[in-house]
């Protein structure tokens, strides 16, 4: 049999052994749970949320008056949004072997519960949670925050 045959068989085995939930290039997080009205706004288009939807840097997470959303980032950071919430995922880098670690979010309104993941443990200075009134530096912790009536800039 030819070498080309073995290469094709090897590639097929490799593809079939790849997990179904493999991380897409650039993916920051996935929607774990949601209820009511919840959207991912990507490139100015609102996408109705479904379980396991991918979230990328640059996405805006938005919940309606009856909506909630639970998100798990690739580094196991968890973020839960309450009703009428808007949070932008400005930056997410998770390549520990290359020393590239960063998570930056901006909250415009609503309520959110945050539980830090691996990035905060490995590089606490690389994690920022921004609100209209303050920037929160994460040092391996969890918190609840509420922002009332702020407009996006």
Sequence spans of domains, the chain: 23-147
Q: Distance from CA of residue 86 to its chain's centroid? A: 13
- Which parts of 3-139 fold into alpha helices (H)? 3-17, 118-122
CB neighbours of residue 24 within 10 Å: 10
Distance CA 130, CA 106 (A): 5
Distance CA 147, CA 28 (A): 23
At residue 10, the 3 state secondary structure works out as helix
The pTM score is: 0.77
Greater confidence (71 vs 9) lies with: 71
Q: What is the pLDDT of residues 38-85, one digit of tens each?
A: 999 999 999 999 999 999 999 999 999 999 999 999 999 999 999 999
């Amino acid at each position: 049999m030819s070498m080309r045959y073995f290469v094709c068989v090897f590639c097929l085995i490799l593809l079939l052994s790849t997990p179904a939930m493999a991380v897409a290039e650039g993916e920051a997080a996935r929607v774990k749970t949601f209820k009511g009205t919840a959207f991912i706004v990507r490139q100015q288009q609102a996408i109705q949320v479904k379980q396991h939807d991918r979230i990328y840097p640059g996405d805006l997470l938005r919940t309606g008056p009856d909506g909630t959303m639970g998100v798990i980032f690739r580094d196991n950071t968890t973020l839960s949004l309450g009703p009428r919430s808007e949070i932008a995922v400005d930056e997410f880098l998770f390549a520990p072997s290359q020393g590239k670690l960063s998570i930056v979010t901006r909250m415009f309104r609503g309520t959110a519960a945050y539980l830090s993941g691996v990035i905060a443990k490995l590089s606490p200075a690389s994690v920022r949670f921004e609100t209209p009134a303050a920037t929160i530096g994460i040092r391996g912790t969890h918190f609840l925050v509420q922002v009332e009536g702020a407009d996006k800039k």
